[in-house]
Amino acid sequence: MIKLTDEELHRQALVIDTHADTLQLVLDEKLDLAEGSDKLEIDLPKAAVGGLKALFFSIWVDPKLYSGQKAVDRAFGLIGALKTQAERHPDSIEIATTATGIERAVKSGKLAALMGVEGGHALNGNIENLYRLHNEGARYLTITWSNTNELGDSSGDLKSPSIKHHGGLTEMGRRVVSEMNRIGMIVDISHVSDQTFNDVLGITTKPVIASHSCARALCDHPRNLTDDMLTSVARNRGVVCINFYPLFLDNGFRKQKDEVDTSLKEEYRAIDEHSPDDPIRASSEKDRLQRKFLAKTESISYERIVDHIEYVIKIAGEDHVGLGSDFDGIPATPRGMRSVADLPKLTKELRHRGHRDETIRKILGGNVMRVCREVISE
């Protein structure tokens, strides 16, 4: 048998990324995925270079900018932005809502575009909006983002005394999980509090994903999963998809980020004062400024992503790990992993560390595809 090169193995694998915030920029900056842009870490040209076959585009609504019905409208606006891209570029993008749809798009040489709603606050407390989002093509829902909502507690605000917490998953959250199991929608447990995680895993009948999370043993951040949580995901037949944000990969990056944010406080305040009636623009400008300064810090290497992959394999097994980059939604990326075009480096590094080709195929997308076949099959 002729051994494949690293590049051949990567090209032949079904590479799936379970989380990217690209649509925010496409909609707000009026960008086109086919044109390629320095503002985007994922676009069609870069995806082709990186061998990306399928992507879950995040339908994320910033709770600081949108609330109530406006949050719901924003979610559907993002869905509309993806559909517009698919209509403009029918030879390059195909929206997929089932495992079969993913396979069909990939076979025809197109990027299989899926959608995941990041944060139950986008439902605005109304389960009918879950059905509406599902009907429009959304195929996972992250129970919470960094904010506690009507479905359950988030890991992002547990220490805030001004936030009313539920003690885990709420009754509405339990109903939403059950309905997602019934209608064919993947439950995503990234961002949730530990108790919300335990509650979800206690009632779901289908495999879950952590669409963009890392291992807490390697980076002590509440967004990451403990060993017990990793074991629970394995028992559930789910998949933990590793986030590329250095803040969740390595403890040392937190100090660097805190220093940057402290140094930019006055600039942030000036931006807010300059755009008092345009919070979306102000948020975008602050994000660009933060990215510019974080790029000057001594970031960690992309090899740290592989450290987390290997740790999840050690605790949960090789059938329960995948990739969830969080590209276009994070203010910094690891050194050597500037965009989706750099994904082949992960295959090369995994091979260098002695992992079997079959294991690498599972990591790159095979494990996520297994969950899709079980949860969003025809």
Per residue in 130-177, pLDDT (tens digit) is 999 999 999 999 999 999 999 999 999 999 999 999 999 999 999 999
Domain assignment of residue 14, yes or no: yes
Query: Residues 39-60: pLDDT tens digits?
Result: 999 999 999 999 999 999 999 9
Domain boundary among 238, 269, 299: 299
Ordered DSSP codes for 68-82: THHHHHHHHHHHHHH
CB contact set of 8 (below 8 Å; sequence gap of 6+): none
CB contact set of 243 (below 8 Å; sequence gap of 6+): 19, 190, 212, 213, 214, 223, 249, 324, 325, 326, 330
Q: Percent of the chain scored above 70 by pLDDT?
A: 100
The β-bridge partners of 117 are 59, 141
d(CA 143, CA 94): 26
Domain that holds residue 40: 6-250+301-375
Tell me: do 172 and 260 sit in the same domain. Answer: no
Tell me: do 79 and 178 sit in the same domain. Answer: yes
Quick count: other Cβ atoms within 10 Å of Cβ 214? 31
Quote the Cα angle for 252-331-19, to 5°: 100
d(CA 364, CA 12): 11
**Which has more confidence, 333 or 2?**
333
Number of H-type helices and E-type strands within the chain? 17, 9
Q: What pLDDT does residue 140 have?
A: 98
Instruction: Give the DSSP H/E element, type plus range, for residue 83.
Output: helix 69-88
Tell me: do 293 and 314 sit in the same domain. Answer: no
Tell me: do 77 and 175 sit in the same domain. Answer: yes
d(CA 317, CA 310): 9
* Cα Dmax for the chain: 65
pLDDT at 376 over 90: yes
Tell me: do 76 and 93 sit in the same domain. Answer: yes
Q: Is 50 helix (H, G, I), strand (E, B) or coil?
A: helix
Query: Residues 193-241: pLDDT tens digits?
Result: 999 999 999 999 999 999 999 999 999 999 999 999 999 999 999 999 9
Identity of the residue numbered 208: V
Domain assignment of residue 1, yes or no: no
Q: State the first-to-last Cα distance of the chain, in angstroms, to the nearest integer.
A: 36
Tell me: do 260 and 309 sit in the same domain. Answer: no
pLDDT at 367 over 80: yes
Both tokens of 43, joined, read: 């676009």
Query: Residues 258-291: pLDDT tens digits?
Result: 888 899 989 988 988 888 878 777 887 888 898 8
Q: Which residues of 306-329 are buried (b: 16+ CB within 10 A; e: fewer)?
A: bbbbbbbbebbebbbbbbbbbbbb
Domain assignment of residue 115, yes or no: yes
Q: What pLDDT does residue 272 have?
A: 87
Q: How many domains does the chain have?
A: 2
Tell me: do 181 and 270 sit in the same domain. Answer: no
> Given the DSSP bridges, would you call strands 54-60 and 16-20 parallel, antiparallel or unpaired?
parallel
Tell me: do 156 and 273 sit in the same domain. Answer: no
Domain assignment of residue 308, yes or no: yes
CB contact set of 78 (below 8 Å; sequence gap of 6+): 23, 24, 27, 57, 59, 60, 61
Quote the Cα angle for 306-312-314, to 5°: 100
Domain assignment of residue 278, yes or no: yes
Domain assignment of residue 324, yes or no: yes
* Mean pLDDT rounded to a whole number for the chain: 96
d(CA 13, CA 350): 14
Tell me: do 180 and 230 sit in the same domain. Answer: yes
Tell me: do 189 and 325 sit in the same domain. Answer: yes
CATH number of the domain residue 131 falls in: 3.20.20.140
Among 171, 212, 166, 216, CA closest to 188? 212
Tell me: do 273 and 153 sit in the same domain. Answer: no
Tell me: do 126 and 27 sit in the same domain. Answer: yes
Domain assignment of residue 335, yes or no: yes
Domain assignment of residue 82, yes or no: yes
